[in-house]
Structure 1
Amino acid sequence: MLQLQLRRLDLFCTVVDEGGVTRAAERLHVAQPWVSAQLRTLEKAAGAPLFVRDGRHLALTEAGRRFHSWAADVLASSAQVRRDIENLGAGVAGSLTVATSMAIGTYLVPPLLTELRHERTGADITVYISEPAAALRSVAIGDADFAVATWAAELSPEPLHAERLWEEPLVLAAAPNGPPDSDTITLAELATLPLVGVPTGVAFDRMLGDQLRSHGAGELTYVMRLGHAEAIKRAVAANDWGCLAPSYVVADDVAAGRLRSVAISDANLVEGIGLFHRQTTFFSPLQQAAVAKLQQIATIRAESTTTELTTCCP
């Protein structure tokens, strides 16, 4: 029904453009009586004559001019809607809202979504950064399509579906000229270093504390606690201190020579990366593409970590 109405509007605009029924019929490859019948249907619907005869041509009445302006807008809008729907089907447009925990939302997710945005022009992408529990709440109430957050033991993902994507190794990030002297360190040696930590009670602090206790290590002593990884890394580099961080957080700084990455030889400290979404979520093509990129990264990171462990610990 909608398609028929749009076709009638297109026919009406064609008659206006061609200045008559005959030429419009020729252009549309339809019979002239059918065109005349469709115009009568439109005039009946409008409740007023839309054309008057002007010699051999048809001219718009005042009502016809108003109707033509409206019809042109409707046809333009319908064309845009069709393009939008086609883009949604192809995954090149649409919206994507992701909730993340702090470091993941700062370092891990933005490059992935930037790549996705280049591939799918017109996409509307938003990332919210908060504590893991808050990120999961955003998904549960529908404010976000899914969450990518630190996998913490105390998290209660119900009623969300939870998928542990991969485990990111934690490393000691040290100043270029600061301690320790070697590229590896033990937990006992780690406890003697001046360290910068995250605020007490945040998810990363609790996760790290649980792992240290599982390895029989005590609480670490921090010279300072700061609320963002960038502030922590700057304090480390400027004062010859150290910090424990996921490897993706310090990768660029290590590559640029601003920090050193020191492996922990007697403990496998990791940050679990989790994907959380509603059980009944139907992902659009754009959202599916984002999830697929995360899962692809998970495969690559898992293989990379396995290779590193095999190389270091045969």
Structure 2
Amino acid sequence: MLQLQLRRLDLLCTVVHEGGVTRAAERLHVSQPWVSAQLRTLEKAAGAPLFVRDGRRLVLTEAGRRFHAWAADVLAGSAQVRRDIENLGAGLAGSLTVATSMAIGTYLVPPLLTELLHERAGAEITVHISEPAAALRSVATGDADFAVATWSDELDSEALHAERLWENPLVLAAAPDGPPDGDTITLAELAALPLVGVPAGVTFDRTLNDQLRSHGAGELTYVMRLGHAEAMKRAVAANGWNCLAPSYVVADDVDAGRLRSIRISDAHLAEGIGLFYRRTKFFSPLQDAAVAALRSLATPQGPGTPAVAGS
């Protein structure tokens, strides 16, 4: 009975997403009359019409919007509960799925989770890397246990617990023999350099521009925009260009002599690191240990950077 009710809620969300009964039926591989019948059952249970027709599309009524929001939350919660129950008997093993933003998932999170795996042999750990907004969506839908992502006040995290853990200073990465001379640079000097940037509009780009404006500086211009820190660092090293990056992103390259780290002397630019999870989330022992490890990195944080492998 419960599975049938959940299936009806999933069907309603599919109709909303697809914009109509026909496309929803095609996606779910069921008949159109069956979809219509299930919607009538839901409307009877709700005691109000959930949809009205707008041309060829079905759109939600006011009651329908409220019902749809509740249905999406129930489905996300049920997915999370199923995963939680599977992990209850797993003890030190179990599973952990983390959603992260790009640089955090490449450089920060893997060393921490690798150390956790050494302590808990048999644990199943997965890290999904995407844009911060997508990482938060995967948590909201129950597909990930929590997210670790670049902090932005623009992120829609109302349905989630949002916790700013720490911030990492941004540095200018330079080629060993490229500009600028010296170990420090001002914002005015920075604007004159050949810079590689992230794609326009991504969270890191928006937060960087906000910080530049707060220091009275305009947006930077770039010779090229690249979608991953590894590609940016290679372009810097090969062409004598520069890029702004969190200190942990370039730490290994600086130690190996592939890049230089240049401090910005007249501005504090930083990337905030945030932890996000469902407010009703039940943490298994493995998941709880991962969150505790993340918070422990923030504990010694002052004006510097938390001590993590590779930073």
Distance in structure 2 (CA, Å) of the matches to 1:300 and 1:118? 23
For 1:142, the aligned partner's letter is G
1:244 aligned partner? 244
Which SS does the other structure have where 1:164 is aligned? strand
Which SS does the other structure have where 1:222 is aligned? coil
The answer to whether residue 125 in structure 2 is matched with residue 117 in structure 1 is no
What is the correspondence of 1:85-234 to structure 2 with a 5 Å cutoff? 87-88=90-91, 92-234=92-234
1:272 aligned partner? 272
TM-score by length of 1: 0.68
Count of residue pairs the alignment pairs up = 221
1:169 shift after superposition: 0.3
Structure 2's unaligned 5+ residue stretches are 1-86, 307-311
Change in CA separation of 1:143 and 1:265 when aligned onto 2, cut-off 3 Å: same
Distance in structure 1 (CA, Å) of the matches to 2:187 and 2:205? 16
Distance in structure 2 (CA, Å) of the matches to 1:150 and 1:287? 20
TM-score by length of 2: 0.69
Which SS does the other structure have where 2:179 is aligned? coil
For 1:153, the aligned partner's letter is D
1:300 shift after superposition: 3.3
Which SS does the other structure have where 1:188 is aligned? helix
What is the correspondence of 1:253-264 to structure 2 with a 5 Å cutoff? 253-264=253-264
Distance in structure 2 (CA, Å) of the matches to 1:277 and 1:85? 18
For 1:111, the aligned partner's letter is P
Which SS does the other structure have where 1:179 is aligned? coil
Distance in structure 2 (CA, Å) of the matches to 1:107 and 1:228? 12
For 1:158, the aligned partner's letter is E
What is the correspondence of 1:49-88 to structure 2 with a 5 Å cutoff? 87-88=90-91
8 Å CA contact 2:88–2:284 kept in 1: the answer is no
8 Å CA contact 2:171–2:261 kept in 1: the answer is yes
Distance in structure 2 (CA, Å) of the matches to 1:135 and 1:95? 18
More helix as a share of residues:
1
1:42 aligned partner? none
Residues 77-127 of structure 1: per-residue CA shift (max 9 Å, x gap): xxxxxxx96751xxx200100000000001000111011111101101000
Distance in structure 2 (CA, Å) of the matches to 1:132 and 1:257? 31
Q: State the superposition RMSD in angstroms.
A: 1.7
1:172 shift after superposition: 0.3
Change in CA separation of 1:158 and 1:86 when aligned onto 2, cut-off 3 Å: closer
For 1:201, the aligned partner's letter is G
Structure 1's unaligned 5+ residue stretches are 1-83, 307-314
Distance in structure 2 (CA, Å) of the matches to 1:305 and 1:134? 26
8 Å CA contact 2:96–2:286 kept in 1: the answer is yes
8 Å CA contact 1:159–1:279 kept in 2: the answer is yes
Residues 11-65 of structure 1: per-residue CA shift (max 9 Å, x gap): xxxxxxxxxxxxxxxxxxxxxxxxxxxxxxxxxxxxxxxxxxxxxxxxxxxxxxx
1:287 aligned partner? 287
2:25 aligned partner? none
8 Å CA contact 1:101–1:130 kept in 2: the answer is yes
Distance in structure 1 (CA, Å) of the matches to 2:256 and 2:250? 10
1:304 aligned partner? 304
Which SS does the other structure have where 1:300 is aligned? coil
Distance in structure 2 (CA, Å) of the matches to 1:245 and 1:266? 17
Distance in structure 2 (CA, Å) of the matches to 1:265 and 1:305? 17
For 2:159, the aligned partner's letter is P
8 Å CA contact 1:167–1:302 kept in 2: the answer is no
Distance in structure 2 (CA, Å) of the matches to 1:98 and 1:305? 22
Distance in structure 2 (CA, Å) of the matches to 1:280 and 1:190? 45
For 2:304, the aligned partner's letter is S
Which SS does the other structure have where 1:148 is aligned? strand
1:305 shift after superposition: 4.2
**More off after superposition, 297-306 vs 244-253:** 297-306
8 Å CA contact 2:168–2:304 kept in 1: the answer is no
Distance in structure 1 (CA, Å) of the matches to 2:294 and 2:302? 12
1:259 shift after superposition: 0.4
Residues 165-217 of structure 1: per-residue CA shift (max 9 Å, x gap): 00110000011111110100000000000000011111111110111011100
Distance in structure 2 (CA, Å) of the matches to 1:85 and 1:276? 22
8 Å CA contact 1:173–1:262 kept in 2: the answer is yes
